[in-house]
A = this chain, B = another copy of it.
Amino acid sequence: MKGPLERYFVKPGDALDLGKMDTSEKTVFESVTKDSYLPIADRLKVELRELQKVLYAQSKHRVLVVVQAMDTGGKDGCVKNVFSGIDPQGIRVQAFKKPAEEELAHDFLWRIHQHVPRNGGMVIFNRSHYEDIIAVRVKKLFPDEVWKRRQRHVLEFERMLAEEGTTIVKLFLHISKDEQKKRLESRLANPAKHWKFNPDDLSDRARWADFMKAYEEVISKTSTDLAPWYVIPADRKWYRDLVVAQIMVNTLKGLNMEYPKITWDPKSIVVGD
């Protein structure tokens, strides 16, 4: 991706230091603030909605968006804010939870593959196959050779999808450990948000450094031109949403889509009474 958003694109093989990245910066929309972002967000939503209409009508491209983040990183909120407003007929959000027995009884890509987009479709993965090489690695659920091997499988799987016609965008919503603390405490302080809090979430937080290390390596090794990763400063929710919306708009514009041509003559058609 050319332009200001390029700064968030992880160049294939580039070393990544998540700890050094500023999770609260707002370079791409420098002059915008929490009080002034809404008209821009609305404009991007309209653009996205119009682009999705052509995507659906043309029924040629397939769009897959992978969203990953630490807990409270904003996956749910970002998906809701950026993608609601799109015709629900053309978009599907697939959340991947802890795998069920039947899913574990297959290779780790089995449940993923079932949900990739079809022609004209847009699918958002809320968590994804990346859990199987990141969480699994940090929690040492399998020996090291398993996630190392899986990393190669992921690369090849995504290459296959892309070469067969799927446009892939991968987003890591990057918050700081301090910001997570604030958000967890705010959930605890708000009874209406208690249902979203799971005391077990704290055990992932305790492994923050290990998660960052795993994300750094995996993102660096799996960001390719066909399936790029973007690391997005996500401490400011409004900025995160603007950047994600802009990435989506630019990506869809890059497909140079058009409404399908008809193969019949409108003048030849008579609608009888």
Contacts and interface: CB of A to CB of B under 8 A. Distances in A.
A143 interface: no
Contacts of A177: 273
B89 A86 contact: no
Interface stretch (A13-21, A144-152, A258-266): A258-266
A93 B79 CA distance: 17
A202 B271 contact: yes
A178 to B, nearest CB: 8
Nearest to A270: B202
Contacts of A92: 88, 92
Interface of A: 57, 76, 79-80, 83-89, 91-93, 95, 124, 126, 177, 181, 184-185, 188-189, 191-192, 194-197, 199, 202, 205-206, 259-260, 262, 264, 266, 269, 271-273
Contact of A89 (B126, B189, B197): B126
A91 to B, nearest CB: 6
B269 A88 contact: no
Contacts of A185: 271
28 contacts: A57-B196, A76-B89, A79-B89, A80-B87, A80-B89, A84-B85, A84-B88, A88-B88, A88-B91, A88-B92, A89-B93, A89-B95, A89-B126, A92-B92, A177-B273, A181-B273, A184-B271, A189-B266, A191-B266, A192-B259, A194-B262, A195-B262, A197-B262, A197-B269, A199-B269, A202-B269, A205-B271, A206-B272
